[in-house]
Structure 1
């Protein structure tokens, strides 16, 4: 399991006084500030976060060390991470997306279907993007209890009961 979890991304400057447009990947958007200080993926920069208000498609926020619009614009696209130990424990049937990426996916008969490449959300359900040597293209597998009855993080494996034809 990853030590750092991506909890947000900087969308660029918001206004001309050093605020940033912040995309939060936390369950409650404004909770991103609760996990500060946040760092870049390589750990080279760290930011305290103060959410100033909700805006369309995100939050306006002040980050420590970001004073000007140019400072904010220079950070556009930067992902922000928090150490796993600052995040809440999840219920038994919930998972951080980062923990699912790379897991092997087998069907209920034990046949390897591939590995999880990414976790996507279509608005209704999460989808597991599966890739593997026997697949010409990746496959999107709905991440529901009916289709994915077992996630075993310790064994690094997911057991799936995919709909007919999805892996053909």
Structure 2
């Protein structure tokens, strides 16, 4: 699913929760307020190109699951919630919180080329950021079908230069 440039993805609806129309969202944003504070969000359905506005009524983080449970306006039962499975939850691109030094928006990392710092050889291109104990850069290896998972920690990824549009890594032996 391609997100229009004027929007950015904050999560994906992965399941219904209960019988009152709540949905489970796997977040792609580190900002809890995007799922907990009421207000307008945008819903991008599979096979659609334009998102539609939807009101987030309430939400909370489900400990141990890494998911948010949210109630959306107009979604009143489990069937309506199940119909949203696979939809992306978006916000407008202009709604970008200020970041601390060393923090990055996921959308700014995807598509960046990754180079070995020592040799400047191209490793591949960031295709996704996975949220685990440590965030992981999923890199589509240059000239190969497989992807490489690179821990997104400063010791391994010392350079993220958004202006030059490049990432440099110093992987430990055996990572690549």
TM-score, normalised via structure 2 length: 0.78
Deviations 1:91-137 (A, max 9, x none): 121012221111001111321111112112331x1111222334452
Question: Which is helix-richer, 1 or 2?
Answer: 1
CA distance in 2, matches of 1:53, 1:122: 19
Q: Paired residue for 2:106, among 97, 114, 120?
A: 97
Partner of 1:141: 150
Partner of 2:41: 38
State the Cα RMSD in Å: 2.5
Contact 2:61 2:68 in 1 (8 A): yes
Pick closer, same or farther for the CA change 1:13–1:166 going to 2, 3 Å.
closer
CA distance in 2, matches of 1:16, 1:130: 39
Q: Paired residue for 2:72, among 44, 49, 63?
A: 63
1:13 Cα offset (Å) = 3.1
Q: Paired residue for 2:137, among 117, 128, 137?
A: 128
1:89 Cα offset (Å) = 1.2
Residues paired across the two proteins, number = 165
Mark the runs of 5 or more structure 1 residues left unpaired by the alignment.
Answer: none
1:18 Cα offset (Å) = 2.8
1:28 Cα offset (Å) = 5.1
CA distance in 1, matches of 2:116, 2:166: 11
Q: Highest Rg: 1 or 2?
A: 1
